[in-house]
Amino acid sequence: MKTLLTISLCSLALALTSLAQSPPPAQARPAAPGTNPAAQAPGNPAAAAQAPATNVPPGQAAAPGQPAAAGQPAAPGAPAAMSPAAPAQAGSVPSGESPAVTTTISPAAANPPPAAEAQTSGGVLGSNWLIDKFHKGGPVMWPILIVSIIALTVVIERIFWWSGRWFRRDPKRIEKVFTAIENGDTTEASRLSRGSRDPILRMMWNGLNHQHASLQGALQVAAGIEIKRAGRFLVVMDTLVTLAPLLGLLGTITGLIRSFSFLGNEELAVQAVTGGIAEALIATACGLGIAIFALIPFNFFTSRVSNLEFELQTAATNLEVMLGTQAAQHEVEIARTATTGKGSSI
């Protein structure tokens, strides 16, 4: 029991620590100083159409008859090159007026590519998905988390115990004990059953050592101890199977109450109502999942306890019958000896 509580507390501490450490939000990379945001957008067809290709290096005047590139002065006496898209630009400033400095943002810069959105948002298998769903489930998720940790701990402990029970079985030794009893050697049978870890052999050893006082009572006490060991924590699992769906139902009710409480507010009605419905569904799903997870091992362990109880009852009945037969034969021999002694004396 102490080991189980220690494992439960350690698991709860690890779960709370992992929930508390949420990854920091992704920050945008700062742009270099003096860089136009529109220039950083890749694949802008409008910019490619407006800027003709030129081989003139920066800071050098363009040759006559060649259009000057953007940001380069034209040669003296050369006609200014006009972009074909210039007349179609809206908001052109007439001559004589100082043009206002405007910044044109391309659609590619305004809408980030889908790859960047996928990296920043995080997928279903991301480290932040479980924490996000846990917080959206509302305050009922904390008792559901505790119930899940206890259920997992009990299932693991019972799996280890029944695995050890499987390796502790010794059917050949049980047959040797019954053979020794049939031969009337109860001392050898007691020696064979002593020190065994098999529950059936332990019960038989207890009965053989107390057969002169109360054989049936000794067998019942030993069988009850073995059944109690095998059925340990089954009550806890039964409680968790019933409690987990009730906690999920409680989360459903609290989520619906939260949703209907925001119906009067027109600005936040849609977002708040959907958040409350999500809380209700998440809590219900978690409660049902824990109940399903605990129900299958609970039924399996219950069936194993029933099988062990049947084996103990069968072995106890066989032991009583065999010892009763030996006692009856012993009494017959004593009576026969006494009758023979009386006849010889007469």
| Mean pLDDT, each 10-residue run in order, the chain (346 residues) | 58 57 48 45 41 45 45 43 39 41 42 43 54 87 94 94 89 91 88 90 91 86 93 93 94 87 67 80 93 94 95 93 82 78 60
Q: What is the DSSP code (8-state) at residue 25?
A: P
The phi and psi torsions of 237 (rounded to 5 degrees) equal -65, -40
Domain membership of residue 45 (yes or no) is: no
pLDDT reported for residue 85: 39
8 A C-beta contact, residue 200 and residue 315: yes
pLDDT reported for residue 125: 43
Residues 6+ apart with CB under 8 A from 51: 69, 70
Domain membership of residue 112 (yes or no) is: no
The Cα–Cα gap between 317 and 286 comes to: 47
Q: Distance of CA 13 to CAs 16, 19, 209, 212, 239, Å?
A: 5, 10, 48, 54, 23
Domain membership of residue 312 (yes or no) is: yes
Two tokens at 135?
């917080």
Using alpha carbons, select from 149, 141, 145, 140 the residue that is nearest to residue 236: 149
3-state secondary structure of 111: coil
Is the pTM of the predicted complex or chain greater than 0.95?
no
Residues 6+ apart with CB under 8 A from 123: 129
The Cα–Cα gap between 61 and 64 comes to: 9
CA angle 136, 137, 140 (to 5 degrees): 140
Domain membership of residue 119 (yes or no) is: no
The Cα–Cα gap between 140 and 284 comes to: 10
Using alpha carbons, select from 148, 143, 203 the residue that is nearest to residue 170: 203
pLDDT reported for residue 298: 95
Q: Where in the sequence is the domain holding 145, given as residue range(s)?
A: 136-334
Q: Distance of CA 251 to CAs 66, 150, 183, 258, 328, Å?
A: 74, 19, 67, 10, 68
Using alpha carbons, select from 256, 297, 251 the residue that is nearest to residue 273: 256
- Structurally, the chain folds into a number of domains equal to 1
The Cα–Cα gap between 215 and 186 comes to: 13
Domain membership of residue 7 (yes or no) is: no
8 A C-beta contact, residue 283 and residue 258: no
Domain membership of residue 91 (yes or no) is: no
Domain membership of residue 99 (yes or no) is: no
Domain membership of residue 309 (yes or no) is: yes
8 A C-beta contact, residue 54 and residue 69: yes
